[in-house]
Amino acid sequence: MLLESRTAIVTGASRGIGRAIAKKFSSEGANVTINYNNSLQDASSLLKEIEGNGGRGILVKGNVSRIEDVRQIVKDTMSTWGRIDILVNNAGIHYAVDLFEHSEEMWDETIDVNLKGTYLCSKEVAPIMLRQQKGKIINISSNSGMYHPSAMRFAEYVSSKAGVNGLTKALALRLGPYVNVNAICPGAIQTDMNAFRDSEAIKALIEETPLKRLGVVEDVANAALFLASDLSDFITGELMLVTGGRGMHQ
């Protein structure tokens, strides 16, 4: 039980990577705040699954790009559990369209959720973690934010994740020595948001990957567990690639 009696907020936890992280943390003893924005049914099924396995969790609806929603997520977590030990900034959106098909509204929403949301949530929990003199912030970024050429097809997404990577390092510097801040940069992971249906595209991705497979959400959840636990206490400001080796030459 690496996270026994600790409390974690996982944003965008109803599906995909966030769901896998919430389940993993719960299985290791954490109390989990399951944040969702639109997918109440998915979030409710996750809570039911966690509780069915003997875990503890609460649901909190909220758009992480809105400060009033972020404050409510933090308030509900504190009123329920009394502390916040771990924040996973996972909530994100991705419009898989070409630069010239992309609108200003798409750009704004992507930056607001992916980058501003990470900033708002981190800034809101940081004073609590500093008072506790202990805390872990884990940002879910992407290898596309690290300038891997074949991952850089979508300008707004790349820009948001490159921003998250820079923010991770800035927060790590400002919040030390008590709060560790790291980012996970997944590669090609099979999720609802990142659905790989084109067999030729899958073949190309696997060819670029030394471990010769696509990633699964559990691969990212395992990395998040390491960063959330005491095993990573001397690690901060790092960008952890979870890519099966894809892009390591960069």
Percent of the chain with pLDDT over 70: 94
Q: How confident is the model at residue 195 (pLDDT cuts 50, 70, 90)?
A: low
Is position 147 annotated as part of the catalytic site? no
pLDDT at 141 exceeding the cut of 60? yes
- 121: three-class secondary structure by DSSP: helix
Which pLDDT score is estimated for 108?
A: 97
* Global confidence as pTM: 0.95
Mean pLDDT, range 80-102, rounded to an integer: 93
Q: Which residues contact 171 (CB under 8 A, 6 or more apart)?
A: 122, 126, 137, 179, 181
Identify the CATH class of 7-242.
alpha beta
Q: How confident is the model at residue 247 (pLDDT cuts 50, 70, 90)?
A: confident
Whole-number Cα distances in Å, 104 to 109, 111, 151, 160: 9, 11, 22, 14
Mean pLDDT, range 196-214, rounded to an integer: 82
Which range among 86-95, 127-136, 207-216 shows the weakest confidence by mean pLDDT? 207-216
Task: Encode pLDDT of 107-138 as tens digits.
Answer: 999 999 999 999 999 999 999 999 999 999 99
Which of 174, 140, 151 lies closest to 249, judged by CA?
A: 151
The secondary element (H helix, E strand) that includes residue 52 is helix 40-52
Choosing from 119, 147, 157, 178, which is the catalytic residue?
Answer: 157
Task: Encode pLDDT of 142-168 as tens digits.
Answer: 988 886 666 677 889 999 999 999 999
